[in-house]
Structure 1
Amino acid sequence: MCVVGGVLGRLQTNARTDGNSDGVTRFVQSAVHPISRPVRNALLSAGGFFSGIANSGTLAEENRRLKSLAAAAAMYEDRVGEAHREIQRLRALLDLPPMPGTDRLAAAVVAYFPHENRMTLGVGTRQGVRPGQPVVVPEGLAGKIQTADADSSQVLLVSSPRLVVGAMTLRNPPVAGLLRGESESVLILEFVSAGASLDVGDRVMTSGFSSQTPPGIPIGEIVQVWEDPEFGSRRCQVFPNVNFGSLREVYVLR
């Protein structure tokens, strides 16, 4: 091995003295060059990997910051949307047409009790509120005053089975009956004569048979009609116009 090394060294020295590239150098270069680029790229990739590990804390912090900003933006949009809906409700309430023989008292809804079909208003006897007075919104009849204290009152909603309202359909001639509630989304119009002409889609409103409830206040729309053989009459399922859970302001008709 020493002899071979000496010979190769002598050949390399002679070639350089003559100004030529020696064969040994060319051989080594040809052997090393093909793998030099992949090795360099691998080293660069490894450097980027370890640099990424070093910066991972900064990236995680930036990710948390962006998530926080996105959550704040979503909350802002929700609040703006709710404010816009509240403005629309107030505008609709102000545009409610007057009803002959009554004056309107604006009232805030203080509490809502869906399982009792009841809500509390922030007005009472000091403001002229009395039991039996209708409570309305732009969509129609919400209920009637059940009890009243000095500065608050309880409203029994039309969705309550305990509240019975004289109602009629908006057709010529109108078909009259008694309406009571079954749930937030189901009202029943009953004691309608067997031969009465009724159709799904007919509008239902107050009939005015009660001295305290003016005629023509919208209530809902018929979604089903069936015969009631027990009483020899027809019954209708009515979908209410009012979304009771969304009410914030109402009018009491005095």
Structure 2
Amino acid sequence: MARAARTDGRIDAAVGAACVVAALVCMALPISTRDGFAGGLRTTVMAPLVSLQERAELSRRTFLSHDASTRVADSVALRSLRLQGIEQENAKLRALLGLGALLQWGFVPAEALKGRGIGDEQTLTLSAGSRAGVEPMAPVVSDAGVVGVIERADATMSTAILWQHPEFRVSAMSLNGEAYGMVQAHGGTGADRYFLELRGVLLRSQIPSGAVVVTSGLGGVWPRGVPIGTVVSELKTPDQWARSYLIKPAVALSDLGSVLVLLPSRTRAGVDNVWTSAAGAELAARRIVSSIDSIARLTGDSNSVRQRRVIADSASVRAERDTVRKRIP
């Protein structure tokens, strides 16, 4: 065993000496010869080691770039979410501007100041007050319809009770004018508190599910024709002389951002066909967009897909201009 160990040691020494001699010889060789010899070693004996080094370098770069790639992906996702929120907010503002164009006069725009109420989801603080003409009992509306009514007005701010408030009342009728009643909060707990209730409808007047309910103009607080909501179903009540209906509100309180406060002069003058015209223009635009999308899918025409929004916007503008023109005596 001792002899084998001495033999192995001699072999290692001989190999080491040979490597040193080979290194000295290579250093003495011309550059062209040295490069050729080195290239031959890299492609033959050293090829596995070179491949292993290449893979290790790729793994190192991938590991180092993972954090940067993750940051870029998170940044893109965050910007997409922000862009989606901005697009939704712009759509709401365009709808409210369209309503203001149809009303033309007699209203005060206001921002809904969220978080000002102490845990009260039935009231809303607005950024417009008595200096802008806001008065108590003034109707608060959005492009979708009824929001609430002003409870009190300070110089620069005002407080409105929303349709969800237990004291909120508005005289209502079906869109065809055949049924009348009084709308108030449905009450209850859970999801029931986000519905309205139409009470006092005569037995002979039946309202089908899906029918639109609007303000009737009775009482002098609300003008006629402001959308309140749609009928969900008839409610079973102990009343033998009248019917009651469950109403899905037209305005989602969670999406409130900007609203309009109607002045008394505008309430007295009325808002005939304002919401009807806005809804008709929007419906026509949606139908045009849907038709163009269907044609584009069938024909594969990419130009139609790019132009559908332009045509829809043109339809909305034309409907709005026609409405304004009809309103001018």
Q: How does the TM-score come out when normalised to structure 2?
A: 0.58
Report the residue type matching 2:64 in the other structure.
E
For 1:223, the equivalent position in structure 2 comes to 232
- Residue 168 of structure 1 contacts residue 176 of structure 1 at CA under 8 Å; is this kept in 2? yes
Bigger mean CA deviation after superposition, 78-87 or 143-152:
78-87
Choose from 221, 224, 244 the match for 2:253. 244
**Relative contact order: is structure 1 or structure 2 higher (C-alpha 8 Å, sep ≥ 6)?**
1
Deviation track 1:105-146 (CA, whole Å, cap 9, x = no partner) reads: 011111156853221111111111111100111101111111
Report the residue type matching 1:212 in the other structure.
V
Give 3-state SS (helix, strand or coil) of 2:134's partner: coil
For 1:179, the equivalent position in structure 2 comes to 183
Matches within 5 A, 1:21-100: 44=48, 48=52, 56-96=59-99, 97-98=102-103
Deviation at 1:51, TM superposition (A): 6.4
Matches within 5 A, 1:54-203: 56-96=59-99, 97-98=102-103, 103-111=106-114, 115-171=120-176, 173-181=177-185, 182=187, 185-203=194-212
Bigger mean CA deviation after superposition, 241-250 or 82-91:
82-91
Deviation at 1:58, TM superposition (A): 3.5
* Larger proportion of strand: 1
Report the residue type matching 2:169 in the other structure.
V
Distance 1:184 1:103, change over 3 A: farther
Q: Aligned residue pairs: how many?
A: 209
Distance 1:223 1:51, change over 3 A: same
Deviation track 1:73-109 (CA, whole Å, cap 9, x = no partner) reads: 111112222222222212111111228xx70101111
For 2:40, the equivalent position in structure 1 comes to none
Distance 1:45 1:143, change over 3 A: farther
The 1-side partners of 2:216 and 2:201 are apart by: 13
Deviation at 1:162, TM superposition (A): 1.7
The 1-side partners of 2:237 and 2:205 are apart by: 13
Report the residue type matching 1:237 in the other structure.
L
* Larger proportion of helix: 2
Deviation track 1:187-234 (CA, whole Å, cap 9, x = no partner) reads: 111111122121101100111112121010001100111342335321
Give 3-state SS (helix, strand or coil) of 2:200's partner: strand
The 1-side partners of 2:260 and 2:146 are apart by: 10
Report the residue type matching 2:237 in the other structure.
D
Deviation track 1:24-57 (CA, whole Å, cap 9, x = no partner) reads: xxxxxxxxxxxxxxxx9xx949973x86567655
The 1-side partners of 2:141 and 2:62 are apart by: 56
Give 3-state SS (helix, strand or coil) of 2:83's partner: helix
- Residue 157 of structure 1 contacts residue 163 of structure 1 at CA under 8 Å; is this kept in 2? yes
Deviation track 1:139-185 (CA, whole Å, cap 9, x = no partner) reads: 011111111111111111112222011111112x4211111123663
The 1-side partners of 2:257 and 2:225 are apart by: 23
Alignment RMSD, CA only? 2.5
The 2-side partners of 1:138 and 1:45 are apart by: 72
Uncovered stretches (5+) of structure 1, i.e. residues with no partner = 1-39
